[in-house]
Amino acid sequence: MDSTLIILNVMALLVLVGILYFMQKKHMSFSKRVFTALGLGIAFGFVLQLLYGLESKVLLQSTEWFSIIGTGYVKLLQMVVMPLVFISIVSAFTKLTITNNLGKIATLIIGLLVGTTAVAAAVGIATSLGFGLEAVQIEGGEAEQARGQEIEQKYTEIEGQTFPQKIVEFLPANPFLDLTGQRETSTIAVVIFAGFIGMAYLGVKRKEPEQADFFKKIVDALYSIVMRIVTIVLRLTPYGILAIMAQTVATSNFSEIAKLGEFVLASYVALAIVFLIHLTILAFVGLNPITYVKKVFPVLTFAFTSRSSAGTLPLNIQAQKKALGVPEGIANFSGSFGLSIGQNGCAGVYPAMLAVMIAPTVGIDPLSPSFIATLIVVVAVSSFGVAGVGGGATFAAILVLSTMNLPVALAGLLISVEPLIDMARTAVNVSGSMTAGVVTSRVTKELDTDIYNKQQGEAIYH
């Protein structure tokens, strides 16, 4: 009986996949298909949970089959991340698209990423204080205690690592290892390695132009192949979003989420404010923020559903180049650096909110100006080094809480709402990365405003 129900559930998902395929054949816009996939996934997930209940084996086994499409899609995106980053950076040198302002571009991108994270920390602090959030209000069960112990264990693994040591982690001692993505800092290391190859190419071009031309042809050919792979994978986005959303909603414990509803609401308010700050920055440099929202909607939707900044990188870079008019080199730098430096949601809003909530438990006044100023600085600095200790919101929280002499284990109290909050955090991370790319292009006068302002169709996905 159980196997029959599982088969029916999988068939139902395939019917929804068929609807999206029909929409594609009718040449409906990519954004409409993404939005439809999101809605269908949410509705289907709710229905499954209502029919079977959260603890049902049928539900759990059905969602495992769903992951073939959902998780499989994320893995395909992750598959192309390293080749895309590497060949795009090298190609930017061979096409001379970033060499004139390389130092200025890197400084602007990193400055924007870290600066907006400091602002995001201030927003997180204000939101926590505004909602009156305190860790003592949250009851911890077995799951929360286990999560707290896990966080403490991770803290012992990274305890004592200095900031200079974190910076050294960015350097590629073995670039071939980093091309496999085995280290948390692999993406930045690959960018640095590709940068060295690019600079070597420029040197060879001056002394041995024939060899440089031959190398350029190889790079151009590889770039074309990699971008074709990216395009093929991106066409699967609506199907991936459908399966991911159905699985997420079907397996979410809404009763536990309801208990922490105030924290979830406060988190979403803070993240929404940070997103509005991104739009304000774009307006400040003379760009239409509404146009930005329309063009990056599919990217942010995937980031929201997948909870993977790395998985979203191909979409991120393609949207910057083809929809927003950002030069190739800047798009790749902002997208790649944004994976590890200055993540506005995970490394900005989240640890700041936790610190304000936890401070009263150890007798610290979260309203103290010195506490607030120190926290913002710590968050900004930690956001630059998060990748050196593993990356992600948990590690950002560990770094900030430990530096502020706050108990790290209390971060485990929010385990039940982590996935829900992480969805919005990831979308804000990706938006921050794209905003850095667009603003840097605008400041260096390299942004193609004709592309930015143009009504965008399906071009970036074909």
Tokens, residue 119:
């602002």
253 in Cβ contact with 115 (< 8 Å): no
Mean pLDDT of 284-290: 94
- Tokens 């143009």 locate to 454
Calculate the CA 268 to chain-centre distance. 16
Average pLDDT of the segment spanning 177-197: 82
DSSP string, 278-299: HHHHHHHTT--HHHHHHHHHHH
**DSSP single-letter state for residue 385:** H
Q: Which residue has the higher pLDDT, 162 or 19?
A: 19
The tens digit of pLDDT for each residue in 67-103 reads 999 889 888 888 888 888 888 888 878 876 666 677 8
The tens digit of pLDDT for each residue in 303-361 reads 888 878 877 888 898 899 889 999 888 888 888 888 778 889 888 998 899 899 888 88
Does 58 have pLDDT greater than 50? yes
Q: How confident is the model at residue 432 (pLDDT cuts 50, 70, 90)?
A: very high
Q: Under a CB-based contact definition with an 8 Å cutoff, are residues 17 and 220 in contact? A: no
261 contact partners, CB below 8 Å, separation of at least 6: none
pLDDT for 413 beyond 90:
no
- Let me know: does 113 contact 337? Beta carbons within 8 Å: yes
What single letter denotes the amino acid at residue 311? G
CB 331 within 8 A of CB 363: no
Quote the tokens at residue 316: 């991120």
Query: Structure tokens of 99?
Result: 């060499």
Token look-up 């942004």 returns: 447
pLDDT of residue 300: 92
Q: If DSSP codes are grouped into helix, strand and coil, which group holds residue 243?
A: helix
**Residue-level pLDDT at 381:** 82
What CATH class is the domain 2-461? Answer: mainly alpha
pLDDT at 389 over 50: no
Higher pLDDT, 38 or 271: 271
Mean pLDDT of the chain: 84
pTM (predicted TM-score) = 0.81
Q: How confident is the model at residue 282 (pLDDT cuts 50, 70, 90)?
A: very high
**Structural Rg of the chain based on CA atoms:** 22
User: What's the confidence (pLDDT) of residue 391?
Assistant: 44
**Range 14-34 burial, b when 16+ CB lie within 10 A, else e:** eebbeebeebeeeeeebbebb
Percentage of the chain exceeding pLDDT 70: 86
The token pair at 124 is 């997180």
Give the whole-angstrom CA distance, residue 396 versus residue 304: 19
Confidence of residue 163 (pLDDT cuts 50, 70, 90): low
Return the pLDDT at 14.
94
